Amino acid sequence: MSALRERLRISNLPKPARYSLGALGLVFLFLLPNKWFYEYLGIPLGFAYIPLYTTKNDMASVLFICTWIILLSLGLNVVVGYAGLLDLGFFGFFAVGAYVVALLTSPESKLLTEYNWLESPWPWLVAVPIGIALSLLAGVLLGWPTLRLRGDYLAIVTLGFAEMIRIVAKQQDWILNGDRGIPEVGHPPGSVGGEPLFSFDAKPYYWLALCVIILAVFLIRNLVRSRVGRAWVAIREDEDAAELMGVPTFRFKLWAFAIGAAVGGLSGTLWAGQANFVNSTTFSLENSILVLSAVLLGGAGNIAGAILGGFLVIYIPEWLRSVGDVFGLPETVTVGGSTYDISPTSLRFAIFGIVLIVVMIFRPQGLWPNRRRAAEIQHRKKEVAVGE
């Protein structure tokens, strides 16, 4: 059984088979947001037909959310999965990326209207690299003083950092304009038949994000396989030993932090383009926690795992909303004169919470872990004290 599984592993298939599988997967992903395509995806279950697509929200929008969350997971995976640094405020970098794009590209930006720092709004494409660069800078600025802290202390500091960004963003009279936010954020360039390609439809953004993900995966994969990646693993497994072996641990941790931050910022720049409107409410701590659970659910330290996790944390709750529709489940129940909302829409995060617990109990290594890590965890399992 396991021998068969071993032979069927994608990495063990012959090269042509692997490439055609990959190409097929990509075609599938690019077709996915089209209604005429996804309509056929579903599970017939006796009398009912359970769609795999989402019915409460436009499928393309859901897919776009998936992609930018996946980008965030990929970035956080570098920090948590490879370097083993617990970052609870990763969404802060997303915020930096999003706000930079909004400030530079929106005609309503206070940089234009009040401070006259800009003559006219910049194009989105010019703002993106600046957003990434500033996110990276934010990563270095946060990492420089804090990366000497260990484990849980680092966790609380990063959490505080994300919360601080949110509080700054919330100030009404500041440059970021608080809850009123910044509207009319610029879109990416390009047009089809005179119509701009990127406007409010999520589909082109999804395609763009997909391309960005592919690029990010290649970059991160090469990085992980380089000397840098080996240093990260050494730090994760035993920081003191790595230090003794002459690995400049602080510098490599800072690297991980900065690279993760840059990818997180990139995600923010994409999101800002589509959302068209950036305000402080997007950057709640819950989102940081959501991304972290994505990485660990998928399998920390594995790129494929981070992608799977990022997809599932968005898709499962969304999909649960559709399932309620199919079965015609009651949305409310009345007990003793009080009416309670029991719709899957309302309970979807509770269900998602249960999924998280169950997966961690039965697969603490995550759904799609790094092989080396999975082996470590399998061995840990055998070392439980007697009767525990």
367 binds other proteins (CB under 8 A): no
How many CA within 13 A on the CB side of residue 332?
Answer: 7
349 binds other proteins (CB under 8 A): yes
Q: 168, 217, 223, 304: which one contacts other proteins (CB under 8 A)?
A: 168
18 binds other proteins (CB under 8 A): no
DSSP label of 173: T
Q: 292, 306, 308, 320: which one contacts other proteins (CB under 8 A)?
A: 292
d(CA 37, CA 35): 5
Q: 156, 175, 316, 367: which one contacts other proteins (CB under 8 A)?
A: 156
C-alpha 327, offset from chain centre: 31
Contact in structure between 81 and 306 (CB atoms under 8 Å): yes
327 binds other proteins (CB under 8 A): no
Nearer to other proteins, 103 or 142 (CB): 142
Plot region of 295 (φ>0 → left; ψ -120 to 50 → alpha; else → beta): alpha
Could you tell me whether strands 191-192 and 42-45 are parallel, antiparallel, or unpaired per DSSP bridges?
Answer: unpaired
Residues whose CB falls within 8 Å of the CB of residue 70, separated by 6 or more in sequence, listed in order: 213, 306, 307, 310, 311
Interface stretch with other proteins, choices 188-196, 202-210, 242-250, 334-342 (CB under 8 A): 334-342
227 binds other proteins (CB under 8 A): no
Minimum CB separation of residue 187 from other proteins in Å reads 32
d(CA 202, CA 33): 9
Nearer to other proteins, 221 or 381 (CB): 381
53 binds other proteins (CB under 8 A): no
Q: 72, 297, 303, 307: which one contacts other proteins (CB under 8 A)?
A: 297
Interface stretch with other proteins, choices 119-127, 194-202, 203-211, 343-351 (CB under 8 A): 343-351
> What φ, ψ does residue 334 adopt, rounded to 5°?
-110, 120
Nearer to other proteins, 131 or 366 (CB): 366
Interface stretch with other proteins, choices 6-14, 19-27, 66-74, 349-357 (CB under 8 A): 349-357
**The two three-digit tokens of residue 306, written as one number:** 């981070």
DSSP string for 52-105: SS-SSS-HHHHHHHHHHHHHHHHHHIIIIIIS----S-THHHHHHHHHHHHHHH
Spatial CA neighbour of 262 closest among 47, 50, 100, 88: 100
Side chain identity at residue 243, one-letter code: E
Chain positions contacting other proteins, by CB under 8 A: 80, 86, 145-146, 148-150, 152-153, 155-157, 159-161, 163-164, 167-168, 170-171, 285-286, 289, 292-293, 296-297, 300, 339-342, 346-350, 352-357, 360-361, 364-365, 376-377, 379-388
